[in-house]
């Protein structure tokens, strides 16, 4: 029977890995759970990881070959199978079921699916559940939001009063990724303001001030909206920054920084490992994952080149309308199909 998120925490605390895992459901929660399992595998001595992306034309014999092959670097291996659509098809279901029927020694299979409903379940999920662990991560229900936010704050070393939690819950309006991003920003803001290892408990008044600061039209909001694909909102933020008299040079510095980060992630052979090296919170890793799915590496190179030109225009080293060019760049980041605006 599939486990819930609370039971999942107990599973992670174990001193050995199960033969197989299926982590399915809400993308942010699945990615974070998979990262936690990989970290646990490393702690338990799983020194080798085989990554299999089971896309439309995936050769399912690759799973059997990976399971049967001898490890070159370690005695314990984790097979990391990504199942984007949540449906392995007839061939894939058979391959997973066969693995679970006779799991090889010192090998654990991790299957992640970020699209999921009860319709995705079948004989293969039952086989996997019998052999290992299946966890379905659903977004919090409306009556669960306050508890989820409180628990999420605690993972970042923060505490808040019930009124403050309710205020934040109202602010994010049921958007899981937005909630995670706001809490990550609170960790930075409160930690910087307190200057102590243990930040104070946030009350409603402080939360309102912090949320108001976070809600301002700032460079962080601008880049978050652009990389999230929210072109209209990003352009609205840019217009607000201009109206407030913000200097474009400072904004471009941060935008160039984020585009360079996107390009490093796009160039990485292992995006998750690169994200860890960049010290990205899981919520920001997901933000960039979604952005990188919308365009190839060359697009981000073009955006970075355009950003450098805008910086030169803003500094008076090249002719042009810097704000107009910035609008075009933001539109292209948010929607790569609008990349002709870079011309």
Measured from the Cβ of residue 140, the count of other Cβ atoms closer than 10 Å reads 20
pLDDT at position 229: 92
pLDDT at position 216: 53
Distance CA(15)–CA(29), nearest Å, equals 23
* Two structure tokens written together for 99: 């693995």
Least confident of 68-82, 259-273, 326-340: 68-82
Q: How much of the chain is in helix, strand and coil states, percent to nearest 5?
A: 60, 10, 30
DSSP 111: E
Is the pLDDT at 212 greater than 70, yes or no?
no
Distance CA(277)–CA(60), nearest Å, equals 31
Q: Which residues pair with 111 in a beta bridge?
A: 22, 81
Contacts for 196 with CB less than 8 Å, ≥ 6 apart: none
Can you tell me the mean pLDDT for 298-305?
A: 94
> Alpha helix locations (H) across 44-144?
61-68, 89-101, 123-131
Distance CA(255)–CA(285), nearest Å, equals 17
239-264 confidence digits (pLDDT tens): 988 888 888 988 888 899 999 999 99
194 exposure class (CB count in 10 Å sphere: 0-12, 13-18, 19+): exposed
b (16+ CB within 10 A) / e for 152-186? bbeebebbbbeebbbbbbebbeeebbebbbbbbbb
* Domains recognised in the chain with CATH numbers: 5-137 (3.40.50.300), 142-215 (1.10.8.60), 219-342 (1.20.272.10)
83-119 confidence digits (pLDDT tens): 988 899 999 999 999 999 999 988 999 999 988 888 8
3-state secondary structure of 165: helix
pLDDT at position 81: 96
Give the strand pairing for 107-113 and 77-82. parallel
Can you tell me the mean pLDDT for 125-133?
A: 95
Place of tokens 């590496």: 297
3-state secondary structure of 66: helix
- Of the chain, the percentage scoring pLDDT greater than 70 comes to 92
Please report the sign of the dihedral spanned by the C-alpha atoms of residue 288, residue 293, residue 295, residue 298: positive
The mean of the pLDDT values for the chain is 87
Among residues 190, 209, 208, the alpha carbon closest in space to that of 200 is found at 190
Is the pLDDT at 341 greater than 50, yes or no?
no
Among residues 109, 53, 30, the alpha carbon closest in space to that of 76 is found at 109
Can you tell me the mean pLDDT for 207-231?
A: 78
* Two structure tokens written together for 147: 């508890």
Least confident of 96-100, 222-226, 328-332: 222-226
pLDDT at position 42: 92
H or E segment to which residue 305 belongs: helix 297-314
173-195 confidence digits (pLDDT tens): 677 887 888 888 888 788 644 54
Return the half-sphere exposure (C-beta side, CA atoms, 13 A cut-off) of residue 68. Answer: 7
Q: How confident is the model at residue 342 (pLDDT cuts 50, 70, 90)?
A: very low
6-43 confidence digits (pLDDT tens): 789 888 888 899 999 999 998 889 999 999 999 999 99
pLDDT at position 100: 95
Distance CA(147)–CA(287), nearest Å, equals 24
Least confident of 85-94, 208-217, 219-228, 302-311: 208-217
Distance CA(82)–CA(272), nearest Å, equals 13
Can you tell me the mean pLDDT for 121-146?
A: 92
């Amino acid at each position: 029977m599939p486990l819930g998120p609370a039971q999942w925490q107990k599973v992670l605390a174990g001193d050995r890995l199960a033969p197989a895992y299926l982590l399915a459901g809400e993308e942010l929660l699945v990615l974070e759970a998979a990262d936690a399992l990989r970290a646990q595998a490393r702690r338990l001595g799983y020194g080798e990881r085989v990554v299999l992306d089971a896309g439309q034309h995936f050769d399912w014999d690759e799973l059997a070959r990976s399971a049967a092959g001898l490890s070159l670097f370690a005695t314990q291996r984790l097979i990391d199978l990504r199942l984007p659509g949540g449906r392995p098809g007839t061939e894939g279901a058979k391959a997973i079921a066969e693995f679970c029927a006779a799991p090889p020694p010192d090998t654990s299979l991790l299957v992640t699916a970020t699209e999921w409903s009860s319709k995705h379940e079948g004989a293969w999920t039952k086989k996997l559940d019998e052999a290992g662990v299946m966890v379905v991560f659903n977004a919090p229900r409306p009556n669960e939001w306050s508890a989820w936010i409180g628990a999420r704050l605690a993972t970042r070393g923060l505490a808040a009063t019930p009124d403050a939690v309710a205020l934040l819950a109202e602010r994010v309006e049921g958007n899981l990724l937005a909630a995670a991003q706001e809490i990550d920003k609170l960790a930075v803001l409160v930690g910087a303001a307190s200057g102590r290892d243990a930040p104070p408990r946030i009350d409603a008044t402080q939360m309102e001030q912090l949320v108001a600061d976070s809600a301002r039209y700032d460079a962080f909001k601008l880049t978050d909206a652009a990389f999230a694909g929210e072109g209209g909102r990003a352009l609205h933020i840019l217009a607000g920054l201009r109206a407030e008299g913000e200097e474009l040079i400072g904004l471009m510095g941060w935008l160039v920084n984020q585009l360079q980060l996107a390009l490093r992630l796009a160039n990485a052979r292992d995006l998750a490992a690169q994200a860890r090296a960049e010290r990205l919170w899981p919520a920001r890793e997901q933000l960039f994952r979604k952005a990188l799915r919308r365009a190839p590496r060359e697009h981000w190179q073009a955006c970075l080149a355009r950003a450098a030109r805008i910086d030169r225009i803003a500094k008076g080293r090249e002719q042009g309308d810097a704000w107009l060019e910035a609008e075009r760049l933001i539109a292209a980041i948010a929607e790569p199909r609008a990349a002709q605006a870079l011309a």
